[in-house]
Amino acid sequence: MNALLIYPEWPDTYWSFKHALSFEGKRSAYPPLGLLTIASLLPKHWNKRLVDTNIRRLTEADLKWADVALLSGMLVHKQELLELLARCRSRGLSTVIGGPVTSSVQELPQHADHVVIGEAEDLVAGLAADLERGTAKPLYSAAERPGLSKTPLPDLSLINPKHYSSMAIQYSRGCPFNCEFCDIIEIYGRTPRTKSPSQVVAELEQLYEHNWRGSVFIVDDNFIGNKREVKKLLPVLAEWNSRRKQPFTFFTEASLNLADDRELLQMMQDARFNRVFLGIETPVEESLKEAQKLQNTRRDLMESVKRIQGYGLEVMAGFIVGFDSDPEDIFDRQVEFIQESGIPLAMVGLLLALPGTQLYRRLMKEGRIVDEGHGNNMNLSLNFIPKMNPQRLVEGYRDILQRIYHPDAYYERVRKFLAQYKPTHHVARVRSDYVALARSILRQGILGDSRISYWKFFLDAATRYRHSFGTAIMLAIMGYHFQTLTRAICDPEQEQLSSEAN
């Protein structure tokens, strides 16, 4: 059996980092970890080929080779997945689709021969046997959420790591909180399940043996969802990294209550974590309560961010506008918070009511859902009727982006971060770092539209912040990505195209 595993191309969003990747000669931010794990669950006697369409195009030769095509993705990949499915089926290929998208898009059985809903560890063996016998069912649904002790090592033989900016591993699934707009708790549950420290070390050893050196993304939606278990893992990570002469740095996603646990912060610092993404969402407490994001209430949000940054962690953060409780001055308040907090990479999006979430169900009861959405909270077409005037909401959102990613404002925010940033680990420079620096100077300092702002920042980075010069240049490059996207989003012609598409 020849199994063709296909991953769709990322749309152009903040999370794709598309406009920054070329600076370091990379094609995608991370490998498709889900499909690599599925590959290890498939029968050993099957032949497997992975096509990550972020790396290369799917060819006719690939389709001719395959007996079955297995696809995976998220709601944001919906359109690309439908096109890939249609192409496979037009060649007579049996198609299987899984991943988070199957929990969000109800019409997938119309486009794929076999749909897998839920986590794969307990499903793949039966599915594979049915495919071999020609008796595969249209729908496979996980009866329960499996323990992660069943999760095998991902099959790294299917990728070339040099094409990716970072490698990825998963430690846990699930989150203990109850945010109304979040689909993670609906898909993976509110009881975090974790791998053992020995499983994680085995994954790191595999990356090391594949000659990976550099950044590793721990893809958990809330890395600290089970603090007791993560505190068992972190000393093991620190010891392994030290014994291997520190080949990796780590970054992940976590909830803001990370700031409450100094012991945990110190453990992350010791294990060489250098960045964390936080869901801050909004500085308006009433909106946080509305969203049931109670872990962010009854605290000084700014102080929480500063405390985390004080442990050598760069904070990336998500922000949302469009809550029913948002006041008229929400746009100014978001900008003020982002600028004052020194969070360079602020992912601001419009509220999106994802199918399957508490928010979607509530708004459906209220008659306010317009469509199932697109998974991209940067898309200017709302999938629900907001309390605020929709045009005012979209205009205010665009105003936030234009203000926080104006080069002067962005570089000032980076300066604020660098002024108190104390990197605790030396990261050896590699060839791609020097290539990225040269391309940054060319594209941003010579050919760019904001050359004066860039050179002022570059001079500060080389003098006042020379202790973190590499981080400064990386943030300048990331700023290029965010600024490029912001121009596209705020272009009136782009808004017209978006309206016509919907």
pLDDT tens-digit map of 281-308: 999 999 999 999 999 999 999 999 999 9
461 and 346 in one domain? no
Host domain of residue 196: 166-404
Average pLDDT, the chain: 95
Instruction: Report whether pLDDT(360) > 80.
Output: yes
Question: Which CATH number belongs to the domain containing residue 125 in this structure?
Answer: 3.40.50.280
- H/E run at residue 63: helix 60-65
Domain membership flag for residue 23: yes
- Residue 47's alpha-carbon distances to 2, 113, 124, 206, 495, in angstroms, are 5, 20, 15, 21, 45
473 and 336 in one domain? no
Domain count, the chain: 3
Instruction: Report whether pLDDT(499) > 50.
Output: no
pLDDT tens digits along 405-447: 999 999 999 999 999 998 776 666 667 789 999 999 999 999 9
385 and 249 in one domain? yes
Q: What percent of the chain has pLDDT over 90?
A: 92
The predicted structure's pLDDT at residue 496: 44
The predicted structure's pLDDT at residue 497: 39
Domain membership flag for residue 498: no
317 and 263 in one domain? yes
Domain membership flag for residue 500: no
pLDDT tens digits along 91-129: 999 999 999 999 999 999 999 999 999 999 999 999 999
Collapsing DSSP to helix, strand or coil, 11 comes out as coil
Instruction: Report whether pLDDT(500) > 50.
Output: no
113 and 32 in one domain? yes
- Residue 420's alpha-carbon distances to 307, 416, 427, 456, 468, in angstroms, are 11, 7, 19, 19, 11
pLDDT tens digits along 314-331: 999 999 999 999 999 999
- The span from the CA of 69 to the CA of 26, in Å, is 26
269 and 305 in one domain? yes
What mean pLDDT is predicted for residues 387-405? 97
Instruction: Report whether pLDDT(472) > 80.
Output: yes
The predicted structure's pLDDT at residue 291: 98
- Do residues 149 and 195 make contact, with C-beta atoms less than 8 angstroms apart? yes
Domain membership flag for residue 148: no
371 and 320 in one domain? yes
Q: What is the band of 383 on the pLDDT scale with cuts at 50, 70, 90?
A: very high
- The span from the CA of 212 to the CA of 304, in Å, is 33
- Do residues 172 and 193 make contact, with C-beta atoms less than 8 angstroms apart? yes
- The span from the CA of 415 to the CA of 395, in Å, is 28
Q: What is the band of 376 on the pLDDT scale with cuts at 50, 70, 90?
A: confident
Domain membership flag for residue 154: no
194 and 92 in one domain? no
Boundary of a domain, candidates 91, 108, 141: 141
Instruction: Output the six-digit token pair for 388.
Output: 């605020």
pLDDT tens digits along 204-251: 999 999 999 999 999 999 999 999 999 999 999 999 999 999 999 999
- Do residues 181 and 291 make contact, with C-beta atoms less than 8 angstroms apart? yes
Instruction: Report whether pLDDT(66) > 70.
Output: yes
- Do residues 335 and 343 make contact, with C-beta atoms less than 8 angstroms apart? no
Boundary of a domain, candidates 348, 370, 404: 404
Q: What is the band of 150 on the pLDDT scale with cuts at 50, 70, 90?
A: very high
DSSP string, 417-456: HHHH----S-----HHHHHHHHHHIIIIIISSTTHHHHHH
Domain membership flag for residue 476: yes
Instruction: Report whether pLDDT(372) > 50.
Output: yes
Domain membership flag for residue 495: no
239 and 120 in one domain? no
397 and 423 in one domain? no
Question: Which CATH number belongs to the domain containing residue 192 in this structure?
Answer: 3.20.20.70
Domain membership flag for residue 155: no
137 and 180 in one domain? no
72 and 188 in one domain? no
Boundary of a domain, candidates 404, 430, 447: 404
- The span from the CA of 145 to the CA of 480, in Å, is 40
